[in-house]
Structure 1
């Protein structure tokens, strides 16, 4: 089958798009990827079997994408490009990544009437509420998350199938939109087996923290990720666990607030802000850690998606401490991979850390259980089977 994936940005990188495309190719399909180019990238290129077709864009188109469902300029500018892509490559099924470009795709497909798959990488209308530029003028008045949610529901209804990242997201869509659950496929962003079997380890990182009881966080450090809870907890933990060290590998423009908090609490020597590091170093930081954390705040977005870091943590046999954001709570409890604390509650976070510190057998039990879960049930090779099955059904 000739599958036309539609992406509203440059490629590479996009791990989810690449993983899905490669898995489909390995199962006998041809995958053509529509994406945008802003510089002198090759117009046509094959990457890992993906036939990449780049269409020229510019700053005006890029900026108008934020207003896609306020003023429909963005969609109108892309319709002809998408139609050209679909016809020229004799596409049989359209696979739309996220909703920003979806209006243009459905418009371009009116004459062709091809089957469509709407792939929701996240709950975009909900996460938009936390974007800094939507908290102030003019974004606050020009971009409406309510309009985006209405459009998302429209696209879900139009699509022949919908792909989501969690069971919780599927349940929320069935409840809110009334979409037939049989047409919604769950494909989580899990790790490939090679992530933990072929990782290159940096011994200097292991050595650096070998004497610490290290709490590790990797990834984006925006305030909704809950690191203020962990930092507040360290101010108490340092008196009970002298070797405590909170290591934060990642960055965000809001890091200034996290660093100020550590300074105000006089715990700077207990918190290492490593900044953004090459992702190839993540396995080394994980192996150096004692407990890996994901203290997300509760909201509809976090409740229906995964922080992919938890799968990276589990794959190296580390115990987890996560907030009760619904999706991650459910998966960690299912895997028996760690403890759950109340979101934004530093007292509960502290109690759970102490439990893991004093009861060493828990660290081992959770680590082994989480690792087995990833190795046997929740790696990309396993979880992508639902995506393969979806396209097999289209062929019947």
Structure 2
């Protein structure tokens, strides 16, 4: 693959959710941007009936392959009609079945580059890409370690999925193995640099809208103007509903603001999540249930009219290390809609609001009374008009996906991975030269066991294999499938994967050659176990 911009590139995007998915705005923007730049885009996704985050269940599985206009979607459907399907397609960063499926799909799609969306998709995508000799960009949309720290444990599986040291280790490993990494804020990039990663490996690609979406916004408002109509002064919120979204503060602010005389303040919430019922009860306790409207998830096409019916867009996120390193899509949606923004002082959001002058930032640790005071100030129509114009102008001139992409050249994803591929090739040549120099050292003087580089590599293999086996045990225990033969089979898959990921560019040391015999024996034993399982489930007399 050469870095010539005249060549059309085949780019694969890997997500571990169903796709298309209304809330996955970033993947849609990425795919449409690449397609608009002349690339061919394939999206590799899940194929489940349920979506726990939305509480939705479909009647039937979508097709395994589907053309959605701006991309070709391929859905992981191995063992679709069996009880093993949920296990095989589980949304786990160490799922070996995802890696194997992706490896086959990447080869068939003849890709030039891969973009892995989030940590859950990273390791399978990186392993599959390396098996096919492809460069990988990791789109690190969230700070998953901090998200694991603040999310409540709601199921037995969460004890594993929200284990902070484990999530941190997987995140660091994913960033280290990727050829290039996108983050959504400067603050997130600075944190990764402080953790020891090279600034040249990290690029900021924010959650800004496509220019085409900005241009289409007014037309979509006209199509839905009668659906949402509040005559009173209304705060609006779009997105998931959970504790760290901070909607408690807005409810308390509305309650304080409505204690005096005059027209009451209303709040309209489009979205859903685990905290919705608690917030509905809280609005009743505060006596504002008539002024608070939970409308649930709405069609993306209806979002413009929902925002157009409001007066102020709110982003009341609880301020912590997680929210201080991310920026939500809704910030730019509000600005695009010409809505003034009311936000808590989470660093990236507050920085945009203050720089652009498109709303107000609440004081640190604001309570209901302080929030009500700011809301009362924002009822000034002239101030709102000025803030709204500033926000809309900023989106049209500076805050767009294309503007972010232009920092890397004409084609954001392709330029990133092409540079990453060149860097990896140069790194490979440097490593090869170093190994050749080391191999020239008198091996009798050093001795095979005293080579520190070889010892480090051996210990790296041991650590990675041990981590894999521990993850396998945890997965099998959680799914109540723990057995010696399944543990052995998954461990062999892990050993094959670890061996491939840690293979040297050039030389093969003696311990690697000996490991081949271990791998061969393990594969033979695995084949024997698989054959026994197949024979056990076949009807009698079939053979």
**TM-score, normalised with respect to structure 2:** 0.66
Task: State how far apart, in whole Å, the 2-side matches of 1:186 and 1:159 are.
Answer: 15
| 2:119 aligned counterpart, secondary structure | coil
* Structure 2 counterparts to residues 302-341 of structure 1, below 5 A: 302-341=323-362
Corresponding residue to 1:348 among 356, 370, 379: 370
- Separation in structure 1 between the aligned mates of residue 45 and residue 388 of structure 2, nearest angstrom: 40
The Cα shift of 1:60 comes to 4.7
Alignment partners' CA distance in 2, 1:28 and 1:150 = 37
Instruction: Using the TM superposition, name which of 318-327 and 279-288 deviates more.
Output: 279-288
Summarize the Cα distance change of 1:336–1:40 in structure 2 as closer, same or farther, 3 Å threshold: same
Q: Quick one: distance in 1 between partners of 2:127 and 2:19? A: 23
Deviation, 1:96, is 0.9
Deviates more, 1:252-261 or 1:332-341: 252-261
1:256-271 superposed matches below 5 A: 256-271=277-292
Q: CA deviation at 1:295?
A: 0.6
SS of 2:175 mapped into structure 1 = helix
Which residue of 2 is the match for residue 77 of structure 1? 97
Aligned pair partner of 2:203 in 178, 181, 185: 185
Against the structure 1 CA distance between its residues 322 and 60, is the aligned structure 2 distance closer, same or farther, given a 3 Å change threshold? Answer: farther
Contact 1:6/1:33 (CA < 8 Å) preserved in 2?
yes
Shift of 1:67: 8.0
CA distance in 2, matches of 1:324, 1:200: 30
Taking only aligned residues, the RMSD between alpha carbons, in angstroms, comes to 2.5
**In the alignment, does 2:63 pair up with 1:42?**
yes
Identify the residue that residue 162 of structure 1 maps to in structure 2: 181
Cα distance in 1, alignment partners of residues 178 and 103 from structure 2 = 17
- Residues 181 and 26 of structure 1: CA distance in aligned 2, closer, same or farther (over 3 Å): same
Partner of 2:475: none
Aligned with 2:14 (options 6, 10, 21)? 6
Q: Distance in 1 between matches of 2:154 and 2:75?
A: 33
1:67/1:142 contact within 8 Å kept: no
Given that residues 339 and 352 in structure 1 are in contact (C-alpha distance below 8 angstroms), is that contact kept between their aligned partners in structure 2?
yes
Identify the residue that residue 145 of structure 1 maps to in structure 2. 164
Alignment of 1:194-273 (within 5 A): 194-201=215-222, 202-205=224-227, 208-210=229-231, 212-240=232-260, 241-273=262-294
| 2:366 aligned with 1:366 | no
**For residues 50 and 161 of structure 1, do their structure 2 counterparts lie closer, same or farther at Cα, with a shift above 3 Å needed?**
same
User: In 2, distance between residues paired with 1:370 and 1:138?
Assistant: 42
* Alpha-carbon distance, 1:216 to partner: 1.5
Structure possessing the higher radius of gyration over alpha carbons: 2
2:299 matched residue in structure 1: 278
Residues 28, 281 of structure 1: alpha-carbon distance in 2 compared, 3 angstrom cutoff: closer
Q: Which moved more, 1:274-283 or 1:261-270?
A: 274-283
Measured in 2, the distance between the counterparts of 1:146 and 1:87 equals 34
Higher mean alpha-carbon deviation, 37-46 vs 164-173, is at 37-46
Shift in Å, 1:300: 2.0
Quote the Cα distance in structure 1 between the aligned partners of 2:331 and 2:43: 29
Alpha-carbon distance between aligned partners in 1 of 2:244 and 2:169, rounded to the nearest angstrom: 24
* Alignment deviations for residues 193-248 of structure 1 (CA, whole Å, 9 cap, x no partner): 23423223333356x423x1211122222222111111111221013443321222
| Contact 1:22–1:48, Cα closer than 8 Å, also in 2 | no
Post-superposition shift, 1:335?
Answer: 1.4
- The TM-score, its normalising length taken from structure 1, stands at 0.88
CA contact (8 A) 1:297 1:344 kept: no
Corresponding residue SS for 1:101: helix
With over 3 angstroms needed to count, the CA separation of the structure-2 counterparts of 1:29 and 1:284, relative to structure 1, is closer
* Deviation sequence 1:62-96 (CA, Å, 0-9, x none): 45777846xx4x2x222221111122222222211
**Aligned with 2:221: secondary structure?**
coil
- Off by >6 Å, runs of 4+ in structure 1: 64-67
Aligned to 2:137: 117
1:369 deviation in Å?
Answer: 0.5
Return the offset for 1:141.
5.6
Query: What are the Cα deviations for residues 364-386 of structure 1, in whole angstroms up to 9, with x where unaligned?
Result: 22111011111111133333434
- Which of 21, 26, 38 aligns to 2:36? It is 26
Distance 2:154 2:143 in 1: 18
Q: Secondary structure at the match of 2:17?
A: coil
What runs of 5+ residues in structure 2 fail to find an aligned partner?
Answer: 1-8, 49-59, 420-543
Measured in 1, the distance between the counterparts of 2:68 and 2:350 equals 36
Q: 1:66 to 1:330 in 2, by over 3 A?
A: farther
Aligned counterpart in structure 1 of residue 415 of structure 2, from 382, 392, 396: 392
Q: Any conservation in 2 of the 1:121–1:164 contact (CA below 8 Å)?
A: yes
How far residue 395 of structure 1 moved from its aligned partner, in angstroms, is 4.6
Name the CA distance, whole Å, in 2 between partners of 1:273 and 1:41.
30
Q: Report how far residue 61 of structure 1 moved.
A: 5.7
